Structure 1
Amino acid sequence: MASSVLTTVFLPIALAIIMFGLGLSLTVDDFTRVAKFPKAALLALAVQVLVLPAVALGLVLAFDLSPVLAVGMMLLAASPGGTTANIFSHLAGGDVALNITLTAINSVLAVVTLPIVVNLAIAGFLDGDASLGLQPAKMLQVFAIVLIPVAIGMAVNRRFPEFTARMRKPVKIASIVVLVLVILGALLAERANLAGYLRDVGIAAVLLCVISLALGYFIPRLAKVGEKQAIASSFEVGIHNSTLAITIALSPALLNNAQMAVPAAVYGVLMFFPAGLLAWWITRRTAAAAAPDSATSGADSGGQ
């Protein structure tokens, strides 16, 4: 009964709150702003949509995950960046406007790309079990749970900007709390097998996060993208919307498989460590780089 309430009532509400909160921070300009830095946006989206599923597949094969956990890892890799990426990007001095733009565009793209990746994973690892696939009707449900709350949030932002400005921080805090509760709920549902799952997917989940963060940063930098945009790309690519992945896995109307939610739940807990370390390292490096400039500036003014 508790599991039924979690999957049919709490999870959709939880995801709606998070996606509504995302919508409150979006405007139409966020979708058109990509024209101002097309290289950074296109590279980040390419890594997210094309490279990460390949990375996840490599990790699945390297760690020889069970078929169901393998599909769960692919589902996680195909999920778009989450609002948590914006927070880490802000802390590290990244271009948060780019983060918001990437999250907006990627959330729309995921309606198409996520079902494709999941269906290919099911075909490859579970011999094409039709009962678990995301067929067109289920894809419409993914569309509904992802985009409708975002659209409502954007409409509220446009119609009541002062109210939205007051609500952004409380909704952001609520989104983080909801994310934690969703992860705990998913882990609790599989508590009997938790130790085994942590052993099976823990390292793979951390490596997915670390590799994603690295690719999201270094590929744009190699393409001469600015530092702030590369930082934004790193966190956008490296931090996935684990709540969306868990909701799709657990929802009776979608995949309805608790084991498939485990990689996203484990990732949702463990990703804070590499993401936090990266934000701390970037902040320290930026401060160290600024210190000589400050000292030089002080010496020049003193000499005058």
Structure 2
Amino acid sequence: MTDLLLKVFLPSSLAIIMLGMGMSLTIHDFTRVFRQPKAIIIGLFNQIFILPIIAFLLAILFHLDTTMAVGLIVLASCPGGPTSNIIAQVCDGNLALSVTLTAVGSFTSVISTQLVTSFALTYFNTHTGTTIELPVLDTMFQIMMITMLPICIGMFIHAYKTNFALRMLKPMKIASTIIFILIFIGIVATNFNTIGQALKKVGIVTLLLNISIIGSGFLLAKIFNLGSKNAISIGVDGSIQNATLGIVIATSILNNIEMAIPTAAYTIWMYTTGGILMWYFGKKKQKRIPSTK
């Protein structure tokens, strides 16, 4: 059931949602982002540098054992997950920035994830004798098929069937929220025992990591005057990790199932805080829209 959820339902659902997101985007949205790259640089800095640093500090502060510490760093070194795009859209963030951060962050993680994980193994005196080689081509292909291709198709529809694309914006946002909730329920239901054990071991640490990186994203955006929409995208993208890749690194590459425990715990928190952000910013957006009655 877990494999069906992670390998079939989740990717398919995300691809459909990305198609809907593409219908709300134009090429101009992306050119505007790249013409003012400060938001991209800050977002990537938050994801690639700040997140692993916070994870290291928490591992040391809470005196985590070697396995849990390395597992936490592995999680923090992973790129952002495409679910962040769903949350950013519902929160009324800068969707083009969110998509860009997910795509660029995934490609740069081919190097950064290996460097951070290798350093963690050395620092915490874990000698596995394993060479870390990420599934680069598979990861890139997966990202392209789940995110970029559906978004491009959606943008094509927006360009040539504009009225249809605009009519679909509200239904697709509703569908995004429903699918997000179903994914959350499905992950909890199929991994209930594992998640329970994970929360007992590193629940507080992973919660602090999640809240800290969201706060860091919003703080950096405020310091550099990036605006609320960019702040939402940077905060959300920093907090939503590619949990699947984290589990693959821990179990398949490092051959240590226990190292996947922090990822399991963090998954619950990132979907929980993501849901709270969707509710909070969705509510704020409704207050800004004048009543038609």
Identify whether the pair has TM-score above 0.5, normalized to the shorter chain: yes
Q: TM-score, normalised by structure 2?
A: 0.74
Deviation at 1:52? 0.9
Aligned to 1:233: 234
Matched residue type, 1:224:
N
The answer (yes or no) to whether the contact 1:186–1:258 under 8 Å persists in 2 is no
Residues 179-219 of structure 1, C-alpha deviations (whole Å, 9 max, x = no match): 6545654554x47xx44x32321111111111111111111
Please list every run of 5 or more consecutive structure 2 residues that lacks an aligned counterpart in the other structure: none
Q: Hey, what's the Cα distance between the residues in 1 that align with 2:151 and 2:99?
A: 13
| 1:17-36 paired onto structure 2 within 5 Å | 17=12, 20=15, 24=19, 29=27, 34-36=33-35
Larger of the two Rg values belongs to structure = 1
Aligned to 2:38: 39
Deviation at 1:84? 2.8
Structure 1 vs Structure 2 CA RMSD = 3.9
Please list every run of 5 or more consecutive structure 1 residues that lacks an aligned counterpart in the other structure: 295-304
- Evaluate the alpha carbon distance shift between residue 228 and residue 149 of structure 1 in structure 2; reply closer, same or farther with a 3 A threshold: closer
Aligned to 1:97: 96
Residues matched between the structures, number: 277
Deviation at 1:39? 0.9
Aligned to 1:111: 110
Aligned to 1:297: none
Q: Hey, what's the Cα distance between the residues in 1 that align with 2:115 and 2:17?
A: 24
Q: Hey, what's the Cα distance between the residues in 2 that align with 1:271 and 1:73?
A: 14
Matched residue type, 1:134:
I
- Evaluate the alpha carbon distance shift between residue 99 and residue 204 of structure 1 in structure 2; reply closer, same or farther with a 3 A threshold: same
- Evaluate the alpha carbon distance shift between residue 151 and residue 84 of structure 1 in structure 2; reply closer, same or farther with a 3 A threshold: closer
- Evaluate the alpha carbon distance shift between residue 177 and residue 118 of structure 1 in structure 2; reply closer, same or farther with a 3 A threshold: farther
Aligned to 1:68: 67
Aligned to 2:132: 134
Q: Hey, what's the Cα distance between the residues in 1 that align with 2:102 and 2:51?
A: 16
Deviation at 1:223? 0.9
Deviation at 1:281? 4.6
- Evaluate the alpha carbon distance shift between residue 208 and residue 142 of structure 1 in structure 2; reply closer, same or farther with a 3 A threshold: same
| 1:155-174 paired onto structure 2 within 5 Å | none
The answer (yes or no) to whether the contact 1:15–1:247 under 8 Å persists in 2 is no
Residues 254-296 of structure 1, C-alpha deviations (whole Å, 9 max, x = no match): 33432222212211112333344445455566777x59xx8xx
Q: Hey, what's the Cα distance between the residues in 1 that align with 2:187 and 2:63?
A: 27
State, as a whole percentage, how many aligned pairs show the same letter.
28
| 1:255-270 paired onto structure 2 within 5 Å | 255-270=254-269
Q: Hey, what's the Cα distance between the residues in 1 that align with 2:77 and 2:282?
A: 29
Aligned to 1:120: 119
The answer (yes or no) to whether the contact 2:218–2:232 under 8 Å persists in 1 is yes
